[in-house]
């Protein structure tokens, strides 16, 4: 018998407790999971399966869930769950966090409290010493500003007020952008960006991504392995953020030929500090020849501005009526 042996059970217990505790420290709000089929029945959705897919449908809605995946499609548009969908004894489980911050607002947009949506803050990504993506002689900051100005015209024509976070080629730190939007009294915040990808498989990477703030305690879509991130000011608008993202993203997909890369979640600095609902849109890739006409040509950029404006107006109508159209 070795001297250490009597202590081994104690070490095992401590190790076991640490193992249990570590996800709790990393993720301050562990999600509570519910049976997805029960949730579907509550909302009069028919349930069917096809291989690893679970479909929930009725006359107006169609959800497509995938086993062990964080992707879900709603009415043929892709979204990301905060928590990967597990199955337990063949039954799909969904986190309460995803019900509250994704599924519920998708099927029933939140009702707006307080006065109607009146002013929109538009952020043209990058500027000044920060060019954003560079592709040959093209700099992202030039095109985000051009789109911001055109979007402002569209929104003003629809009777809304607009605050441009920058209206010239100036560098503004991310924190300052959010603070500026907060001070302006804007009701919504829209940040405009164009993407770029230089890795292997570049020819296959194109399309539209819309980001809203990651719900408190969940992982970002771009960072599936890291938990953490506590509550931030922007999390007060988790439900409104999803509705805004849904309306703008769907409108852009309807009015352009940009492929759908999903409504995603991220803790972008400008979104965490916002005291209003907000989204960040990556409208196509400067590194893909099918996307660049939307970015570089005025005519197609106008189409983007119209589509985003229409998404904002649909969002306004939905929230002010408090029920789906
Ligand atoms: Zn950018």
pLDDT tens-place string over residues 146-155: 999 999 999 9
CA of 130 to the centre of ligand 1 (A): 9
Three-point CA angle 63, 65, 70, nearest 5°: 125
- Domain boundaries in the chain? 33-104, 119-321
Confidence of residue 30 (pLDDT cuts 50, 70, 90): low
What is the reported pLDDT for 229? 58
CA of 286 to the centre of ligand 1 (A): 10
Instruction: Kindly report the pTM of this predicted structure.
Output: 0.87
Element holding 258 (H helix, E strand): none
Same fold, 33-104 and 119-321: no
Q: Does domain 119-321 have CATH number 3.40.630.40?
A: yes
CA of 161 to the centre of ligand 1 (A): 24
CA of 20 to the centre of ligand 1 (A): 39
Q: Does domain 33-104 have CATH number 2.30.30.140?
A: no
CA of 243 to the centre of ligand 1 (A): 22
One DSSP character per residue, 185-226 reads T-SEEEEEEEE---STTGGG--SEEEEEEPPTTPPPTT-TT-
Mean pLDDT of 217-228: 58
CA of 322 to the centre of ligand 1 (A): 33
The pairing of strands 138-139 and 161-164 is unpaired
286-302: pLDDT as tens digits: 999 999 999 999 999 99
CA of 192 to the centre of ligand 1 (A): 7
CA of 237 to the centre of ligand 1 (A): 23
79-124: pLDDT as tens digits: 999 999 888 888 899 999 999 999 999 999 999 988 999 999 999 9
What is the reported pLDDT for 227? 43
What is the reported pLDDT for 296? 98
CA of 270 to the centre of ligand 1 (A): 12
CA of 206 to the centre of ligand 1 (A): 15
What is the reported pLDDT for 217? 79
Burial of 19 (0-12, 13-18, 19+ CB in 10 A): exposed
DSSP conformational letter for 6: G
Name 89's Cβ contacts closer than 8 Å, sequence gap at least 6: none
CA of 115 to the centre of ligand 1 (A): 32
More confident residue, 320 or 234: 320
């Amino acid at each position: 018998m070795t001297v250490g042996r009597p202590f081994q059970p104690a070490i095992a217990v401590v190790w076991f407790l640490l193992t249990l505790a570590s996800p709790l420290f990393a993720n301050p709000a562990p999600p509570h999971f519910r049976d997805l089929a029960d949730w579907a029945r509550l909302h009069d959705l028919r349930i069917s399966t096809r291989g690893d897919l679970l479909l929930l449908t009725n006359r107006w809605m169609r959800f497509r869930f995938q086993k062990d995946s964080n992707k879900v499609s709603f009415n043929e548009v892709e979204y990301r769950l905060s928590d990967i969908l597990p199955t337990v004894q063949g039954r799909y489980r969904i986190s309460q966090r995803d019900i509250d911050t994704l599924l519920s607002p998708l099927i029933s947009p939140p009702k707006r409290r307080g006065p109607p949506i009146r002013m929109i803050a538009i952020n043209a990504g990058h500027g000044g010493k920060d060019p954003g993506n560079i592709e040959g002689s093209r700099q992202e900051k030039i095109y985000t500003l051009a789109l911001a100005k055109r979007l402002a015209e569209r929104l003003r024509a629809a009777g809304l007020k607009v605050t441009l976070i920058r209206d010239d080629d100036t560098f503004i730190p991310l924190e300052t952008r959010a603070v500026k939007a907060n001070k302006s009294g804007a009701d919504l915040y829209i940040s405009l960006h164009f993407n770029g990808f230089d890795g292997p498989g570049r020819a296959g990477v194109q399309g539209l991504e819309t980001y809203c703030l990651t719900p408190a305690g969940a992982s970002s879509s771009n960072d599936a392995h890291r938990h953490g991130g506590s509550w931030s000011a922007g999390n007060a608008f988790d439900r409104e953020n999803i509705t805004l993202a849904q309306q703008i993203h769907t409108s852009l997909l309807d009015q352009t030929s940009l492929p759908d890369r999903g409504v995603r979640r991220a803790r972008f600095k400008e979104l965490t500090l916002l005291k209003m609902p907000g989204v960040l849109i990556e409208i196509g890739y400067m590194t893909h020849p099918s996307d660049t006409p939307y970015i570089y040509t005025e005519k197609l950029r106008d189409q983007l501005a119209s589509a985003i404006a229409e998404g904002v107006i649909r969002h306004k109508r939905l929230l002010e009526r408090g029920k789906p159209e």
